[in-house]
Amino acid sequence: MHARAWCEIDLAGLRANVTRLRAVAGVPLVPMVKADAYGLGAEALTRVFAALPAPSTPWALGVATVAEGEALRAYGWTGRVLCCSPVLAEEHAAMRVARVTPALHRAADITAWCEASRAPWHLAVDTGMSRAGIDWRGIASLLPVTALHAPEGVFTHFHSALSHDGSRAVQEARFRTACRELALPSATLRHADNSHALAARAESKSDEAGAWDLARPGIALYGSPSAGELRLCPVLHVYARVIDVRDVAVGDTVGYDATWTAVRPSRIATVGIGYGDGYRRSLSNSADMVLHGRRVPVTGLISMDMTMLDVTDVSCAVGDVVTVLGNPPGEDVATLTIDDVASRCGLSPYELLVGWRLRLPRVYRERT
């Protein structure tokens, strides 16, 4: 690469993660590829998912908008597409054309969808998220319409699946109650597990795999290590090049607002990445990068296009590659994980992951 900074996506690592998650789930997966596959590039990753052999073959791909479903079709995906977010009635026609299965929960929308076509739909049940879906306590209001138009699937979403606060068990109990009250056909697919729910099942070992009929992993596919015993491969690696090196004297300051002052004669490297690329400004004076196998601290405020590092204790030259996230080139140890870097800047790993789409080119490789 001759770019100043870039993202490297490990396709072999992605496949390994799918295999691991499928084994833990014990049921077919619906990989979530919303937000351009969490910023990693839905077009390239869709080709990977399409080529996966059984039993890792996805039951469907999950999206959050109609446009994302249309994009999957443009990329050549011919399998099912499940839109897990609510949609507006005026979007139904476009969804039917793109063969996108909607998540519905309002009686009028269900009736309109089913009377216009026999296309499948899934019922969203709110068991505590208070974000979307029919409240589990009001499920009886849908019985007249579901008796006429049975959904292909019914699902809920956990708000704190990895927490040890008992909330997941509460939500599962509510979901089971709603499913019983609906009295749906036995073939109706039930799904609830997201990445963190699968991690919790792997960690507890008391929860059986296959608790539901499908599982919907998202960030775990892309290597977030917060998924505990899932032992996932890092998929995203971010690199940048040193574009300048200078010596500074005691008392010299670095960066906007002079927030870092040299307390010894120091060597400062400028790397070609900043918050305009997704490297968050809140990492200023608190994060590390890796250069020649050594952690080097970020010094001063991160600029839109540049970040400065204290490389006093490591050899450094213009053109050297630093690791911003993930593994150093050629190594298989996740030195800077998504979760680690996110915690340094007070973000969720999800927010950090999708933020690299701003202008960094992506390179897809088989590196694991």
- Tell me whether residue 214 is exposed, middle or buried, using C-beta atoms within 10 angstroms of its C-beta: 0 to 12, 13 to 18, 19 or more: buried
Chain CA centroid to CA 78, Å: 22
Instruction: Indicate the pTM of the whole model.
Output: 0.94
Contact 323, 335 (CB under 8 A): yes
Strand (E) positions, the chain? 5-10, 60-63, 80-83, 100-101, 103-104, 122-126, 134-135, 153-155, 189-193, 214-215, 236-248, 253-254, 260-261, 266-271, 288-291, 294-299, 307-310, 321-325, 362-365
Q: What is the C-alpha separation between 221 and 41, in angstroms, rounded?
A: 13
Where do the domains of the chain lie, and which CATH numbers do they carry?
11-225 (3.20.20.10), 236-365 (2.40.37.10)
Which residue, chain included where needed, has tokens 């050629």? 330
Q: For every one of its 368 residues, what pLDDT tens digit does the chain have, with 9 covering 90 and above?
A: 579 999 999 999 999 999 999 999 999 999 999 999 999 999 999 999 999 999 999 999 999 999 999 999 999 999 999 999 999 999 999 999 999 999 999 999 999 999 999 999 999 999 999 999 999 999 999 999 999 999 999 999 999 987 889 999 999 999 999 999 999 999 999 999 999 999 988 876 655 566 899 999 999 999 886 655 688 999 999 999 999 999 999 999 999 999 999 999 999 999 999 999 999 999 999 999 999 999 999 999 999 999 999 999 999 999 999 999 999 987 776 689 999 999 998 999 999 999 987 789 999 999 76
Contact 154, 126 (CB under 8 A): no
Active site residues: 34, 256
